[in-house]
Amino acid sequence: MRHCIYPGTFDPITFGHLDVLERATKLFDRVTVALALDTTKAPLFSAAEREAMIRPNVARYTNVSIVTFSGLLVNFAVEQKAVAIIRGLRALSDFEFEFNMALMNRHLDESIETIFVMPSEQFSYTSSSLVKQIAKLGGDMANFVPANVAAELKKKFAA
């Protein structure tokens, strides 16, 4: 049973994240979407809200679960008996951050491998912060996030 962790802040989840997840489900027997509580970001949505937005979008996969975690990602991966961490690389600009994080995680625990996949090029410029900016300014988010996420973003900015 090959198990991998797909970690992120997912504030909120986008079609780009879901593209990476779909690829992960084909490469691994089991995928755990790991919602990080310890992130350098100040999320707009609470962890419970982020998880609730992810859930309906992964319901069709029989091998995907969602877990929130705190502390170091590699420790969580080991606890979960995962063999790998999967991350998406959208463009060259992601490379430095992702490369440093992968090497630091390897330094912390040699047993966990980081695997990178490239999401479809149509998502190469999608990011959670740009989507939040569009939502805040009343733009159309339909091409970037699922309908339930777009609805939650609208609610958040209407409040």
User: Can you tell me the distance from the alpha carbon of 13 to that of 127, in angstroms, rounded to the nearest whole number?
Assistant: 9
Minimum gap (Å) between residue 79 Cβ and ligand COA: 13
Cα–Cα separations (whole angstroms), residue 39 to 10, 118, 123, 140: 11, 23, 23, 28
> How does DSSP assign 17-86, residue by residue?
HHHHHHHHHHH-SEEEEEEESS-SS--SS-HHHHHHHHHHHHTT-TTEEEEEE-S-HHHHHHHTT-SEEE
- Whole-number minimum distance, CB 86 to ligand COA, in Å? 10
DSSP for 84-115 reads: EEEEE--SHHHHHHHHHHHHHHHHH-TTPEEE
> Which residue in 2, 41, 55, 154 is the catalytic one?
41
* Binding test (CB under 6 A) with ligand COA, winner from 25, 57, 114, 128: 128
By CB under 6 A, residue 25 contacts ligand COA = no
> Mask 64-93, x = binds ligand COA (CB under 6 A)?
--------xx--------------x-x---
Q: Does 17 qualify as catalytic in the annotation?
A: yes
Is the bond into 12 cis (omega within 30 degrees of 0)? yes
Catalytic residue (choose from 23, 30, 50, 90): 90
| Binds ligand COA (CB under 6 A): choice among 5, 126, 145, 150 | 126
Q: How far is CA 150 from the centre of its chain?
A: 17
According to the binding rule CB under 6 A, does residue 39 interact with ligand COA?
Answer: yes
User: Which of 38, 122, 142, 151 is in the footprint of ligand COA by CB under 6 A?
Assistant: 38
Residues that bind ligand COA (CB under 6 A): 7-11, 14, 16-17, 20, 36, 38-39, 41, 72-73, 88, 90, 101, 104-105, 119, 123, 126-129
Q: Which residues are annotated as catalytic?
A: 17, 41, 90, 128
